[in-house]
Every structure is written in structure tokens, then in C-alpha cells.
Amino acid sequence: MQKLLIIGFVLGSVTVASFSCEQARIEESLAIQSGAVLQAAPSDNALVDIMRGLETDLAEIAHGLWTQERQTVKAAAMRIAEHPKVTPDQLAAIKEELGSEMGSFAQFDGIVHNTSIELAEAVDADMDIPELFEIYHRIEVGCISCHATFQTRVSDMLAATKSGS
């Protein structure tokens, strides 16, 4: 009887230990994920710095398509999809400036985000380079569509906010 109790106790502890181990593993991977986002933006995540990162990543996708380096295409597409967030101050300023147009701004961001994920998945699905190119082109259209409506306006507003006028 005592032996059974001991076995029961040991089994119970093992279950609890492996559960908390799993918990720790999940917490660790979450920490790594948010760490990656922070590392991707050593700057203060000003919108303009995020944009320069997007430009570099988009050029990297094009390079991957010309050289048929599919994993380069995928990695750069994922970096665009997971681009760092803008600072809370700038986000608040953009919301104030755009008011009801904020939804449209967010929609363009969403198009770029979703199309980048679509491209990464298309690489995994072994789609041909011309098909990947078509998706890449749709990302570009997402970028330029937002710029056509908002780039100058938001840029001027952020510059004015910075200089305190």
C-alpha cells in the first residue's frame, strides 16, 4: 500500500513537472517572438524608420525573385508581414490627424501585411517564380496606394509635431 502511494506521488509529480515545463516553453517562445520584433527595430520605431526597413525588405524580395532564391523571398516577405510597430506617440498623432480616415490607413497596412503572408505561403506551396512575382507586385501596389493618399500628409504632420509647431 505504501509502495503504491509512493508510485502515485512520483507519477503525479512527473505530470505536474512536465506541465509546468510546457508552460515555461510556451512563455519562452513568446518572449523570443517579441524579442525578435524589438531586435528588428533597434531605432525608436519611428514610422520613417519602419518604412526604410520595408523598402529594404521589398528590394530583398525582388533580389530573391531574380536569383530564384526562394527562401530569401520568404524570409523578406515575413519581415514585411511582421514589421515593427510605430511608437505609441506617433500612432496617437496619426490617429488624431486622420480621424475617420484611420480605417483606410489601417486597411492599406492590412493589405501589405496579408499579401506578404500570401507570398511567404506561396513559396512554401512551391509556386513558380512568375506567380510569386505577381504576388510581390500586389505588395508594391499596397505600398504605393497608401503613399498616394497619406505619405505627404502624415510626413508633414509628423515633422511639424517633431519641431513642436
Is there a contact between 136 and 62 (Cβ–Cβ < 8 Å)? yes
Verify binding: residue 69, ligand HEC, rule CB under 6 A.
no
Instruction: Using CB under 6 A, pick the residue from 80, 93, 120, 132 that binds ligand HEC.
Output: 80
Extended strands (E) in the chain: none
Place of cell 523598402: 55
Verify binding: residue 58, ligand HEC, rule CB under 6 A.
yes
Distance CA 118, CA 116 (A): 5
Verify binding: residue 137, ligand HEC, rule CB under 6 A.
no
Give the nearer residue to ligand HEC in terms of CB position, either 27 or 134.
134
Verify binding: residue 84, ligand HEC, rule CB under 6 A.
no
Verify binding: residue 43, ligand HEC, rule CB under 6 A.
no
Residues 2 to 41 in contact with ligand HEC, rule: CB under 6 A: none
- For residue 102, give the C-alpha cell: 484611420
Verify binding: residue 120, ligand HEC, rule CB under 6 A.
no
Please give the backbone phi and psi of residue 44, each rounded to the nearest 5 degrees, phi first: -85, 15
Verify binding: residue 55, ligand HEC, rule CB under 6 A.
yes
Stretch (H or E) spanning 74: helix 70-81
Other residues' Cβ atoms within 10 Å of the Cβ of residue 143: 19
Report how far apart, in Å, the C-alpha atoms of 79 and of each of 11, 49, 53, 94, 97 are.
44, 14, 9, 23, 28
Binding segment toward ligand HEC, per CB under 6 A, in 13-21, 23-31, 61-69, 151-159: 151-159
Binding segment toward ligand HEC, per CB under 6 A, in 4-12, 20-28, 69-77, 136-144: 136-144
What residues make contact with ligand HEC under the rule CB under 6 A?
47-48, 51-52, 54-55, 58, 80, 105, 108-109, 112, 139, 142-143, 146-147, 150-151, 154-155, 158
